């Protein structure tokens, strides 16, 4: 069953501040979490209502299915500060909500963007777990597309520009100022208010970018990736999605209806996105120019936001050539299908790896490439791949050949298909449902992302940064310490993802402060884990707030249980102090129950008894620093070691003396004679001296 612990970490490293107590018994309160300049609100449960902050109420018994999706649940909500109707979206953690963008989105002031009132972590009574809640204004009009099989809302050509293109371009300008792409533009996420100034774009925060989009709205390359691995995307790709929306509305055709995602991608490759979207029909002249610009399949030739804005303002934009796929004179037959271009055959190879490997082992494919494509660089890439992968795994060979044939496509390996900037979100989605991450680890270990970058190095904005990040990840996989491994890779590659520890599946942990509060709630359970910090938690803290745990790693990962408890106490006390979480009596009592090995490190029995007695007085105090002071007092440890050293020396002397006596007792027949002789000699000397002195005294006196 898929995990739904919803939320993600913070913008910088996540910072979670003072919590507010839940009214629900035995439930940890949701901490305030700062996301850059924005703070998620605390929540509570009262009278069947979920309260977000002091002014927002969410009604669990009033579901709003018209705003729900496979990624979210929607419920009626009310904001006491603002009139009108509202709804709350409850996010799934596995969909990696864009928490770091909440502050930027909330600051957008545009009537064509669905307004976000607030966000926070709520305890959801029906599921007995925490969820991330986003509270929005309720849209006042219908969607432009009611369902995947419906027809788009009809709109006259002259209204398409004023009511659809202009409002969306205006909104995207705001998103650019906020430093983010929308990543969820589609007809199903646009609303047309009656008498309004154009469409209102729906939210884009409840899932990772481009996750919810049907491949029809994605560029060919991003559409090939699995939904969770499509990456952040760009505003140019938002314009591409807008172009598809415009074409569907202008033609009155739902391009998703009757075609599989694979067929849509293959049609786009064969025809080009512009030809596919327009279907060969004549569209209003102005719209044709716009569609030609934003639906260009070459990202270097596709319109950017400035060019789209100039077109909206009525200025003529020089037309750019459409990228046309080079077609072979003869097709390559694979699985009884004919393929005429490199991109489609690479897509087919990535889907059917065993058959592709068998085809590559024959000479037919190389001969087809050389006879049909006069491309020296392509031949060199394929030859280099064959040399490098000779004798290696077949699936790795297929993956490398696919990258050589279609460099802009995702990194494809076995059942994984991800863009490098979507790798972390895809890995988080798999971990949330406790899936197999072996293929992701092999992509990193085999440096497949490095190969992908090298193929299109000049087209990337920061190729060296991508290589550097994945090289760090490769080093993490080599190290076996708990703070490293695939868990650290996850948190390094995606700043949105929350802590995916299996122990935290019912919690929303945005940062170390939230982790401490989750541990506080877990401490009250009878089935709490034996270890307070597992591999996920350690890696999460180390990436989000390294100063909280990295100085104590030697202790935290020690095999000595006493040192390990000291390291855990140091880490949790640092988190409590840094995030001002207030007392955590449950965590304190949990630590006290585990602290015996740390106390046993002291040599003085009386001191151990005294520390134990003082430790018991800290029950229910929740002061982790006070607990730490008792087991990690450097002065006390030093004095105990000095006294122990003195005691050892004294003991060594007594042992030596005992050994001497034992040796003497082994010679019982002569035992004491030497000493008796010495005593007799001394007595004789003494008596002789007395006699001589007496004689001299008598002689001299007479």
Mean pLDDT of the 128-143 span:
92
What is the per-residue pLDDT for 170?
95
Contact by Cβ (8 Å): 608, 599: yes
Predicted local confidence at residue 35, as pLDDT: 45
Per residue in 204-233, pLDDT (tens digit) is 999 999 999 999 999 999 999 999 999 999
Phi, psi of 639 (to 5 degrees): -65, -40
* Spatial CB neighbours of 596, under 8 Å, sequence gap ≥ 6: none
pLDDT band at 639 (very low <50, low <70, confident <90, very high): confident
157-312, CATH topology level? Transferase(Phosphotransferase); domain 1 (1.10.510)
Residue 540 pLDDT class (50, 70, 90 cuts) = very high
Q: pTM for the whole thing?
A: 0.85
326-339 in b/e form (b: 16+ CB < 10 A) is: eebeeebebeeeeb
Q: Sorting pLDDT into bands at 50, 70 and 90, what band is 476? A: very high
580 within 8 A of 504, measured Cβ to Cβ:
no
Whether 96 has a pLDDT exceeding 70, the answer reads: yes
Shortest CA distance to 19 belongs to which of 6, 9, 33? Answer: 33
Can you say how many angstroms the Cα of residue 630 is from the centroid of all Cα atoms in its chain?
Answer: 35
Task: Tell me which of 15-19, 134-138, 521-525, 577-581 is least confident.
Answer: 15-19
Q: Which residue has the tokens 């003082």?
A: 614
**319-357: pLDDT as tens digits:** 666 666 788 899 999 999 999 999 999 999 999 999 999
Give every CB contact of residue 570 below 8 A, 6+ residues apart in sequence: 551, 552, 555, 628, 632
Distance from C-alpha of 248 to C-alpha of 235, rounded to nearest angstrom: 20
Alpha carbon 269 to its chain centroid, in Å, reads 33
pLDDT at position 315 is 81
Per-residue tokens: 439 = 């293929």
What are the strands, taking DSSP E only, across 631-670? none
510 pLDDT tier (thresholds 50, 70, 90): confident
Q: Is the pLDDT of residue 569 over 70?
A: yes
CB-count exposure of residue 69 (10 Å: 0-12, 13-18, 19+): middle
Euclidean distance between CA atoms 323 and 292, whole angstroms: 11
- The sign one gets for the Cα dihedral 505, 507, 513, 515 is negative
Does the structure show a pLDDT above 60 at 16? no
Torsion angle defined by CA atoms of residues 143, 144, 150 and 151, in that order, rounded to the nearest 10 degrees? 160
Specify whether the CB–CB gap between 633 and 599 falls below 8 A. no
Of the candidates 131, 3, 138, 125, the one whose C-alpha atom is nearest the C-alpha of residue 61 is 125
pLDDT value of residue 138: 92
Let me know the angle formed at the C-alpha of 261 by 257 and 264, rounded to the nearest 5 degrees. Answer: 75
Which pair of structure tokens corresponds to residue 606?
A: 């009386």
CATH 3.30.200.20 fits 15-137, yes or no: yes
Structure confidence by residue, pLDDT tens digits, 46-60: 667 888 888 899 999
Assign 452 to helix, strand or coil: helix
Is residue 13 a contact partner of residue 545, using CB atoms and an 8 Å limit? yes
Residue 128 burial by CB count (10 A; 0-12/13-18/19+): exposed, middle or buried? exposed
**In which residue are the tokens 């359970």 written?**
525
Looking at residue 19, its pLDDT comes to 37
Q: Please state, for a pLDDT cut of 90, what percent of the chain lies above it.
A: 55
Q: What is the dihedral of CA 123, 126, 132, 133, to 10 degrees?
A: -100
- Report the pLDDT averaged over residues 110-120: 93
Where are the domains positioned within the chain? 15-137, 157-312, 348-493, 511-632, 639-668
Question: CA 318 → CA 243, 321, 417, distances in Å?
Answer: 18, 10, 36
For the chain, how big is the Rg over CA atoms in Å? 37
Nearest to 7 by CA among 30, 36, 37: 30
Q: Report the chain's mean pLDDT, rounded to a whole number.
A: 87
DSSP-assigned states of every residue in 586-605: HHHHHHHHH-HHHHTT---H
């Amino acid at each position: 069953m898929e995990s739904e612990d919803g939320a993600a970490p913070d913008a910088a490293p996540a910072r979670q501040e003072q919590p507010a107590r839940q009214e629900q018994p035995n439930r940890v309160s949701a901490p305030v979490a700062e996301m850059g300049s924005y703070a998620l609100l605390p929540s509570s449960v009262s009278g069947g209502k979920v309260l977000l902050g002091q002014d927002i109420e969410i009604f669990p018994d009033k579901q709003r299915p018209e705003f729900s999706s496979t990624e979210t649940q929607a419920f009626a909500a009310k904001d006491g500060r603002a009139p009108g109707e509202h709804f709350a979206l409850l996010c799934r953690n596995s969909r990696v909500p864009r928490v770091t963008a909440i502050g930027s989105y909330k600051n957008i002031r545009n009537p064509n963007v669905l307004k976000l009132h607030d966000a926070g972590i709520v305890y959801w009574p029906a599921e007995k777990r925490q969820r991330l809640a986003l509270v929005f204004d309720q849209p006042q009009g219908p969607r432009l597309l009611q369902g995947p099989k419906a027809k788009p809302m009809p709109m006259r050509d002259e209204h398409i520009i004023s009511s659809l293109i202009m409002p969306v371009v205006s909104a995207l300008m705001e998103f650019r100022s906020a430093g983010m792409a929308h990543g969820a533009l589609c007809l199903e996420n646009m609303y047309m208010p009656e008498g309004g100034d154009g469409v209102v774009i729906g939210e884009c925060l409840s899932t990772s970018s481009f996750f919810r989009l049907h491949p029809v709205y994605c560029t060919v390359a991003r559409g090939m990736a699995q939904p969770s691995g499509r990456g952040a995307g760009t505003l140019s790709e938002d314009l591409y999605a807008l172009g598809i929306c415009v074409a569907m509305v202008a033609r009155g055709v739902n391009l998703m209806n009757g075609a599989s995602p694979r067929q849509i991608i293959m049609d786009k490759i064969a025809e080009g996105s512009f030809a596919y979207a327009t279907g060969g029909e004549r569209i209003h002249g102005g719209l044709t120019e716009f569609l030609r610009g934003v639906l260009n399949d070459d990202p270097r030739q596709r319109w950017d936001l400035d060019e789209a804005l100039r077109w909206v303002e009525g200025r003529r934009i020089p037309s750019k050539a459409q990228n046309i796929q080079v077609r072979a004179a003869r097709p390559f037959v694979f699985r009884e299908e004919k393929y005429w271009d490199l991109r489609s055959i690479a897509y087919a190879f990535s889907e059917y790896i065993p058959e592709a490997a068998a085809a590559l082992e024959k000479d037919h494919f190389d001969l087809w490439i050389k006879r049909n494509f006069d491309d020296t660089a392509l031949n060199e890439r394929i030859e280099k791949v064959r040399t490098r992968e000779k004798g290696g795994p077949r699936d790795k060979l297929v993956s490398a050949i696919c990258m050589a044939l279609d460099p802009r496509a995702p990194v494809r390996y076995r059942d994984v298909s991800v863009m490098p900037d979507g790798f972390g979100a895809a890995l988080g989605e798999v971990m949330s449902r406790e899936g197999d991450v072996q293929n992701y680890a092999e992509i990193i270990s085999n440096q497949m992302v490095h190969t992908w970058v090298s193929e299109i190095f000049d087209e990337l904005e920061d190729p060296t940064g991508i290589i550097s990040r994945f090289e760090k990840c490769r080093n993490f996989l080599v190290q076996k310490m708990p703070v490293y491994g695939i868990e650290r890779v996850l948190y390094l590659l995606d700043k949105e993802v929350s802590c995916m520890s299996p122990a935290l599946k019912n919690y929303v942990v945005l940062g170390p402060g939230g982790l401490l509060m989750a541990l506080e709630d877990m401490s009250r359970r009878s089935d709490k884990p034996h270890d307070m910090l597992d591999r996920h938690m350690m890696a999460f803290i180390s990436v989000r707030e390294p100063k909280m745990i990295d100085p104590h790693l030697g202790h935290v990962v020690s095999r000595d249980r006493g040192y390990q408890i000291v390291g855990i106490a140091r880490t949790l006390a640092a988190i409590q102090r840094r995030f001002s979480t207030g007392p955590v009596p449950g965590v304190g009592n949990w630590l006290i129950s585990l602290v015996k090995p740390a106390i046993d490190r002291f040599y003085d029995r009386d001191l151990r008894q005294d520390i134990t007695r003082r430790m018991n007085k800290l029950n229910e105090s929740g002061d982790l620093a006070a607990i730490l002071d008792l087991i990690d007092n450097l002065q006390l440890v030093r004095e105990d070691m000095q006294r122990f050293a003195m005691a050892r020396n004294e003991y060594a002397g007594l042992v030596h003396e005992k050994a001497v006596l034992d040796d003497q007792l082994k010679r019982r027949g002569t035992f004491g004679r030497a000493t008796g002789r010495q005593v007799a000699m001394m007595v004789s000397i003494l008596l002789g001296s007395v006699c001589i002195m007496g004689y001299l005294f008598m002689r001299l006196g007479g």
